[in-house]
Structure 1
Amino acid sequence: MKAISNFVKVFSDLIEKVCEGIGTLSVAAFVVIISLQVVCRNFLKIPMVWANDISVVCFVWAVFLGSAIAVRHRAHYVLAFLPDRFEKSNCLLDIISNIAGIIFFYVMIRYGTVYTIMGMKRLSTAINIPQAYFFMCIPLSGCFMMWYTLIHMVNDVKRMISLFNKKGDLNG
């Protein structure tokens, strides 16, 4: 059991490092390209027709990979319906939220893959590369989000079991 737990931690850390690396490069490239485009357009009067396509790809990849990291750390917006003292009820709501997330991430993976495959046949207007590069981050980040949510689900179920095993607990 310890080996599985270690594998999950190491694999999750690896995914996060890859997402951070690609996301950081994407944001840096986005800023450089947009800055260069502004300078070229306003001062040099040279159009950079390719800059829009590349900057959109960079931005979309950064957002989706950043979202995967946010899912790992549960850093997305959360609505608190019940006070913290209702541990069991809040744990149940976390499990329900995980189930909803899993369904949503499945849709991202399934239809993001379909959309990516369709994008292989369509070229971007300015730089003539397959639009699949724009869309590929949707199923990929969906897989990462699914992975992290499944880990949260397992931990939340364990937490729920331990809450129900507490003797004399009237909260929840």
Structure 2
Amino acid sequence: MLSFVKIMDQINKVILIIIGLLTGVMAAVIIAQVFSRFVLSTSLSWSEELARYLSIYAVFLGAAVALRHQGLISVEVIHEFIPQALSKWLKIIVNLICIVFSVVLIFVGMEMIDKVQIQNSPAMQIPMSIPYASIPIGALLMALNAVVVVIELFKGGNRNG
């Protein structure tokens, strides 16, 4: 079990690097679009679409890492009014619900990919299955990270990273 936690932590480090690259490329594309529009008086037809798809991937990947670090938005007021032991079980239940939601999202995302695989994006003409693949990829990573959090809560640790 601990080896799974270590593997996921290594995967999350790679994901953080990927998120940084996605964000850097997205910023470069937006800067190129602004430069092209205001300096060259022409517009790049593909830039907004690429920036949108990069952003979608960054959000899904970032949500998975944030779940691992227990950094997603939540209502903490309940934890302050219940005993520590109940708070631990509440966190376990919440993460189990996240796992179920993520598994559902994986299947729904796969169905969506199947429905849009014959379509191409308007500007870049890439298969729409590429942007839609962010849904099951992100959901799978969220489920795996939620499993890691549950394992750590059962082991008695409650580290946030």
How high is the TM-score relative to the length of structure 2?
A: 0.88
Runs of 4+ in 1 over 6 A off after TM superposition: none
1:59-83: CA deviations, max 9, x gaps? 1111111111101111112212132
1:75-100: CA deviations, max 9, x gaps? 11221213277112211211221122
Q: Larger Rg: 1 or 2? A: 1
Report whether the alignment pairs 1:138 with 2:135: yes
Give the match for residue 159 of structure 2. Answer: none
Give the match for residue 39 of structure 2. Answer: 43
1:145-169: CA deviations, max 9, x gaps? 111111222332344xxxxxxxxxx
RMSD: 1.8
- Among the aligned pairs, what percent are the same residue? 25
List gaps (5 residues or longer) in structure 1. 160-172
1: CA distance, partners of 2:49 / 2:114: 19
Give the match for residue 28 of structure 1. Answer: 24
**Which of 1 and 2 has higher RCO (CA within 8 Å, sep 6+)?**
2
Match of 1:19 among 11, 15, 18: 15
List gaps (5 residues or longer) in structure 2. 157-161
Report whether the alignment pairs 1:147 with 2:132: no
Give the match for residue 169 of structure 1. Answer: none
Pairs aligned (count): 156
Give the match for residue 77 of structure 1. Answer: 73
How high is the TM-score relative to the length of structure 1?
A: 0.83
2: CA distance, partners of 1:32 / 1:151: 34
Matched to 2:66, the amino acid is A
* Superposition pairs of residues 110-129 of structure 1, within 5 angstroms: 110-129=107-126
Verify the 8 A CA contact 1:15 1:144 in the aligned structure 2.
Answer: no
SS of corresponding position for 1:154: helix
Q: CA deviation at 1:18?
A: 2.4
